[in-house]
Amino acid sequence: MDFHSGRELLEICAKEQSPISEIMRRRECTLGERSRDVVDHQMAQVLDIMRSAATQPLKNPVSSMGGLIGGEAKKLWKHAARGKAVCGDVLLRAATYAVAVLEVNASMGLIVAAPTAGSAGVVPGLLLALQDCYKISDDRLADGLFNAGAVGYLAMRNATVSGAVGGCQAEIGVAAAMAASAAVELMGGTPEQCLEAASTVLMNMLGLVCDPVGGLVEYPCQKRNAAGAANALLAAEFCLSGISQLIPFDEMLDTMYAVGRRMPLELRETALGGCAVTPSACERCGGCV
Amino acid sequence: MSFISVFDVLGPNMIGPSSSHTAGAAVIAFMAHKMIAPPLKKVDFTLYGSFSRTYRGHGTDRALLGGIMGFGADDVRIRNSFQIAAERGLAYSFTPRDSGDDTHPNTVDIRMENAGGQVMTVRGESLGGGKVRISRINGVSVDFTGDYSTVIVVQQDKPGVVAHITKVLSDRNVNIAFMRLFREVKGRTAYTIVESDGRFPEGIEEPLADNPNVQDVMIIEL
């Protein structure tokens, strides 16, 4: 059991009458020659690490290696508790968890790349927020991770998830596409709606450049993870409401890749353009890398 | 693994902040530490390309030192590896250097010295996403990734050694995925590198080393 495009994935889902998560799980068992129990156990570990990274900084903030971030998750958490938040509960939680994961990452803590370290906050942020607000079980959350994995696999296979190759749209853009697809499945959407949500995210984040201040995975990466979660939620909402997406996922993935390859070198993780070369960032960074 | 697994997408599980500059660095050093008999006394890292410019902010130095002490890329001790190295009496240094044009952007040369005075040098490249390549051992160009179980046979470049290696492996039912021989000069030291899908049987080093032209056998399994 394998698939090489979103279209093929949807065909298999229809034929097997199964959600994307189930197809991806079976693919893992078949190609990896491992039992369902072993694969599920490993995914449970992934979820454990994600949860730990998303929640630790809420109480115990840590400063990053480069000193550009630290403590943002706790601030958001306390702000939410004051009841004056402008975002809804799901979005605020997703953003809080997402920035927390990046805080852990930037301070040399343990995270799960999803699909990269710099975009590691989006998928856990959104899934854990949904779990909080809709009382979703860990087993169902693992389904969400398999679903997200299917989208990420297609991006790795048919495009890129490297900021150095395709900009931030390929890292956080893909992470958000993964999260959106997972969210749709967890909230009862169809496989078609999942990939439409993923496509919508790629469309809405198309062209986003990778411009890390000081060349470090801190800023603007952390805030963009939260923005990725917001994009994912919006795309999921569109699709769950029945709004159609004109451009299929496979075409959108190709487009994202084509745009990424046309980005100038300065805007692909080199810290030679974008936010990285603003006067304030340069002053804070204190020396070119 | 030869397919893109869901755990390649949701993974690696790693100490941040960067899969290439932190996790990859740890993996390279971890592989290097498998190539020399413990205990290590001294290790010198020479950093090239992007490694040389951003190693502090990415914790590349801590990751390399952790890897050399046997910590995996997901080992939280990496953050404290300077302190742990000091406790273990392991001397270390980091030297950033301008690289030549042919050097991969994220490259490190590792020079290890153990308590017995043995010296070993390894060059590794971090390819992104935590994937790595070992490209040089003791100055000889090699090429392997650690994605598979790997055995490295250090040998005198003489007839019959490769036949000996394949016989030992086939007798123990090891399925070879890739096998290559690397050497610099005819008749001198050569490296046979065998990669296999599964893990090697326990204690396979001994029969592999049981040949007059085999100098050393190293197993690298991540």
Question: Of the candidates B93, B116, B138, which is a domain's last residue?
Answer: B138
Sequence-separated (6 or more) residues with CB below 8 Å from residue B171: B207
Find out whether B1 and B103 touch, Cβ atoms under 8 Å.
no
Q: Do B13 and A149 touch (CB under 8 A)?
A: no
Q: Least CA distance to B20: which residue of chain A?
A: A117
Q: What is the pLDDT of residue B55?
A: 92
The C-alpha atoms of residue A51 and residue A62 are separated, in whole angstroms, by 16
Write the single-letter amino acid at B183.
Answer: R
Let me know if residue B8 belongs to a domain: no
**B161 in the same domain as B103:** no
**B134 in the same domain as B25:** yes
**B169 in the same domain as B125:** no
Q: Do B10 and A152 touch (CB under 8 A)?
A: yes
**B70 in the same domain as B31:** yes
A25 band by pLDDT with thresholds 50, 70 and 90: very high
Distance from A28 to chain B by nearest Cα, in Å? Answer: 6
Q: Least CA distance to B19: which residue of chain A?
A: A117
If you compute the radius of gyration of chain B from its CA atoms, what whole number of angstroms results? 17
Let me know if residue B204 belongs to a domain: yes
Q: What is the pLDDT of residue A56?
A: 98
Q: What is the pLDDT of residue B47?
A: 96
**B18 in the same domain as B109:** yes
Residue A287 pLDDT > 70? no
User: What CATH number does the domain containing B165 carry?
Assistant: 3.30.70.260
Please report, for residues A28, A36, A163, A173, the alpha-carbon distance to residue A4 in angstroms, rounded to integers and kept in the order given. 14, 22, 22, 20
The C-alpha atoms of residue A134 and residue A148 are separated, in whole angstroms, by 19
Question: Which residues of chain B are within 8 Å of residue A157 when distances are taken between CB atoms?
Answer: 4
Distance from A2 to chain B by nearest Cα, in Å? Answer: 10
Sequence-separated (6 or more) residues with CB below 8 Å from residue B43: B65, B68, B90, B91, B92, B93, B110, B111, B112, B113
B54 vs A31, A162, A215: nearest CB: A215
User: What CATH number does the domain containing B111 carry?
Assistant: 3.30.1330.90
Structure token pair of residue B109 = 């040369």
- Single out the residue of A208, A212, A141 nearest to residue A179, CA to CA: A141
Residues pairing with B121 in the sheet: B111
Question: Of the candidates B116, B138, B160, which is a domain's last residue?
Answer: B138
Question: Which residues of chain A are within 8 Å of residue B175 when distances are taken between CB atoms?
Answer: none
The C-alpha atoms of residue A276 and residue A282 are separated, in whole angstroms, by 7
**B214 in the same domain as B158:** yes
A28 vs B6, B14, B130: nearest CB: B6
A146 vs B6, B16, B17: nearest CB: B6
Structure token pair of residue A165 = 């190759």
Q: What is the pLDDT of residue B153?
A: 96
Residue A116 pLDDT > 60? yes
Let me know if residue B206 belongs to a domain: yes
Q: Least CA distance to B50: which residue of chain A?
A: A289
Q: Do B9 and A146 touch (CB under 8 A)?
A: no
Q: Do B53 and A289 touch (CB under 8 A)?
A: yes
Distance from B54 to chain A by nearest Cα, in Å? Answer: 6
Q: Least CA distance to B18: which residue of chain A?
A: A117
The C-alpha atoms of residue B180 and residue A263 are separated, in whole angstroms, by 39
Let me know if residue B172 belongs to a domain: yes
Q: Do A152 and B18 touch (CB under 8 A)?
A: no
Question: Which residues of chain A are within 8 Å of residue B9 when distances are taken between CB atoms?
Answer: 114-115, 148-149, 152-153, 156, 178
A53-102 pLDDT tens trace: 999 999 999 999 999 999 999 999 999 999 999 999 999 999 999 999 99
If you compute the radius of gyration of chain A from its CA atoms, what whole number of angstroms results? 18
Q: Do A153 and B130 touch (CB under 8 A)?
A: no
Write the single-letter amino acid at B192.
Answer: T
Question: Which residues of chain A are within 8 Å of residue B3 when distances are taken between CB atoms?
Answer: 2, 31-32
Q: What is the pLDDT of residue A1?
A: 82
B3 vs A31, A104, A117: nearest CB: A31
Sequence-separated (6 or more) residues with CB below 8 Å from residue A50: A101, A111, A112, A114, A123, A124, A127, A128
**B127 in the same domain as B53:** yes
Q: Do B10 and A43 touch (CB under 8 A)?
A: yes
Residue B111 backbone phi and psi in degrees, to 5: -110, 120
Can you give the residue range of the structural domain that contains B169? Answer: 149-220
Please report, for residues A170, A241, B5, the alpha-carbon distance to residue A209 in angstroms, rounded to integers and kept in the order given. 9, 30, 27
**B77 in the same domain as B36:** yes
End-to-end Cα distance, chain A: 46
The C-alpha atoms of residue B54 and residue A214 are separated, in whole angstroms, by 8
Is it true that the peptide bond before B201 is cis, omega within 30 degrees of 0? no
Let me know if residue B158 belongs to a domain: yes
Question: Of the candidates B118, B138, B158, which is a domain's last residue?
Answer: B138
**B113 in the same domain as B47:** yes
Structure token pair of residue B75 = 């080992």
**B174 in the same domain as B128:** no
Q: Do B16 and A145 touch (CB under 8 A)?
A: no
> DSSP characters for B158-184?
-TTHHHHHHHHHHHTTPPEEEEEEEES
The residue behind tokens 């050393």 is: B216
Let me know if residue B144 belongs to a domain: no
Residue A289 pLDDT > 60? no
Question: Which residues of chain B are within 8 Å of residue A42 when distances are taken between CB atoms?
Answer: 7
Q: Report all structural domains of chain A as residue ranges with CATH numbers, in order of start.
A: 6-276 (1.10.4100)
Q: Least CA distance to B15: which residue of chain A?
A: A110
Phi-psi region of B114 (alpha: psi -120 to 50; beta: other; left: phi over 0): beta
Question: Could you give the percent of chain A with pLDDT greater than 70?
Answer: 99
Question: Which residues of chain B are within 8 Å of residue A65 when distances are taken between CB atoms?
Answer: 17, 56-59
Between chain A and chain B, the number of residue pairs with CB atoms below 8 A apart is 132
Q: Do B16 and A46 touch (CB under 8 A)?
A: no
**B22 in the same domain as B118:** yes
Which stretches in chain B have pLDDT values below 70?
Answer: 1-2, 100-102
Structure token pair of residue B62 = 């801590």
Distance from B9 to chain A by nearest Cα, in Å? Answer: 5
**B126 in the same domain as B47:** yes
Mean pLDDT confidence for A131-147: 98
Q: What is the pLDDT of residue A204?
A: 98
Let me know if residue B7 belongs to a domain: no
Distance from A155 to chain B by nearest Cα, in Å? Answer: 9
A178-210 pLDDT tens trace: 999 999 999 999 999 999 999 999 999 999 999
Let me know if residue B209 belongs to a domain: yes
Question: Which residues of chain B are within 8 Å of residue A9 when distances are taken between CB atoms?
Answer: none
- The total number of structural domains in chain B stands at 2
Q: Least CA distance to B5: which residue of chain A?
A: A28
CA triplet A220, A73, A125: central angle to 5 degrees? 80
